[in-house]
Amino acid sequence: MSRWLRWLLAGTLAAFGLAAAAACGGDDDDGGGGSEKLEPVTFMLNWTPNTYHSGMYIALDRGWYRDAGLDVKIIEPAAGGTAQVLAAGQADFGIMEQEAVIPARAEGVPVVALAALIQHNDSSLYFLRSEGITRPRDLEGKTYGGFGGVLERQLISELVKCDGGDPSKIKFVEVGNVDYLSGMEQNRFDFVWVFEFWDVMRAKEVEKKDVGSLKFIDYTNCIPDWYTPLLVTSERMIKEKPEVVRKFMEATVRGFEVAMEDPQAAADAIMKGAPESDRTLLEVSAEYLSTRYVDPGRPWGLQDREVWVRFTEYLKRAGLIEKDIDVDAAFTNEFLPKR
């Protein structure tokens, strides 16, 4: 059970009020003049509303989906999993991580990645600075709190071994969906796997805690980089409604371009759509992500085949999938607007 399920569970169990999200989210039933019916579109979140949803919330707030003829509704996560919901036609678009898309494809679930929301993996291992951790081998003798997933153990073990440490000296405990900062402060475990832009920013900038982190992106000589999260749809949508996919992506890309140029606008749009959010966290997180959505000179959302090939091979070596997938069917850049 990997980190993506942790966040799905967090979104499903927390009852964060996204009855508001479906309501937060709808464009009007017509294009303003009432003469043309809008195409209904459902977008399913994978977690509580946060900054990597900025593009969708901005596009919704500014009426760009409506202008494209789309009536977009944002709905809460579903317990069945995003891939299954999309494949069943119960939602049109959603968000998944590459470590979830590839196993889904290996099991024959026809989900397709349309764009990388963040160009590089923003995951990190997060801890209290009082633990004295400055590099992966310092994790020796520490306790990792997670969900007991194969990928968790594999990546952490490889990081430590690559830095000259002994991963057998790490204790792995299953803690489930808990308050990680509180758990570390209570000495239940010493480090966890989180997103830097959210949990680490919350601890450092909002709660003013003395925490540190080891960013996965700093250790790509040891572990692969991969896309997490991804904007996804189904093969059915691409086949049956390609113009809807194209229109949705055009407006969404515009939203992310604004988020990169104006982080405050990103925070404002999410607060408007999900007023239960923490404004301070949204603002610091939006500022942090604004320079990390893409590398300089690249368009937002572009996926590289090499990343898909490498990470698929990695998951197979780790035993998370038993067979190869058709990488070229798992993702597409076709619906990204030409800039």
Tens of pLDDT, residue by residue over 160-205, are 999 999 999 999 999 988 899 999 999 999 999 999 999 999 999 9
Phi, then psi, of 114 in degrees rounded to 5: -100, -25
- Residue written as token pair 């691409």: 238
Residues in the chain: 339
Give the model's pLDDT for residue 25.
Answer: 53
Q: Say if residue 13's pLDDT is above 70.
A: no
> Average pLDDT, stretch 211-215?
98
Phi, then psi, of 233 in degrees rounded to 5: -145, -165
Going from the C-alpha of 197 to that of each of 138, 166, 224, 318, the distances in angstroms are: 23, 29, 19, 27
Tens of pLDDT, residue by residue over 263-293, are 999 999 999 999 999 999 999 999 999 999 9
Give the model's pLDDT for residue 130.
Answer: 98
Give the model's pLDDT for residue 19.
Answer: 33
Give the model's pLDDT for residue 26.
Answer: 58
Give the model's pLDDT for residue 14.
Answer: 33
Buried b (16+ CB within 10 A) or exposed e, 317-327: eeebbeeebeb
Complete domains list, the chain, with CATH: 3-120+227-330 (3.40.190.10), 123-219 (3.40.190.10)
Question: 3-state class of 66 per DSSP?
Answer: helix
Tens of pLDDT, residue by residue over 284-334, are 999 999 999 999 999 999 999 999 999 999 999 988 999 889 999 999 999
Q: What is the value of pTM for the model shown?
A: 0.90
* First vs last C-alpha separation in the chain: 39
> Average pLDDT, stretch 17-41?
55
- On average, the pLDDT of the chain sits at 90
Q: Say if residue 258's pLDDT is above 80.
A: yes
Residue 79 one-letter amino acid? A
Report the candidate in 8, 45, 61, 18 with the shortest Cα–Cα distance to residue 276.
Answer: 18
Q: H-type helices in the chain, by residue range?
A: 3-13, 19-24, 54-61, 64-67, 82-87, 98-106, 150-162, 180-185, 201, 235-240, 242-261, 263-273, 279-290, 305-317, 327-330
Give the model's pLDDT for residue 78.
Answer: 79
* Least confident among 44-48, 67-71, 108-112, 229-233: 44-48
* Least confident among 74-78, 188-192, 242-246: 74-78
Q: Are 231 and 112 in contact (CB under 8 A)?
A: no
Q: Say if residue 237's pLDDT is above 60.
A: yes
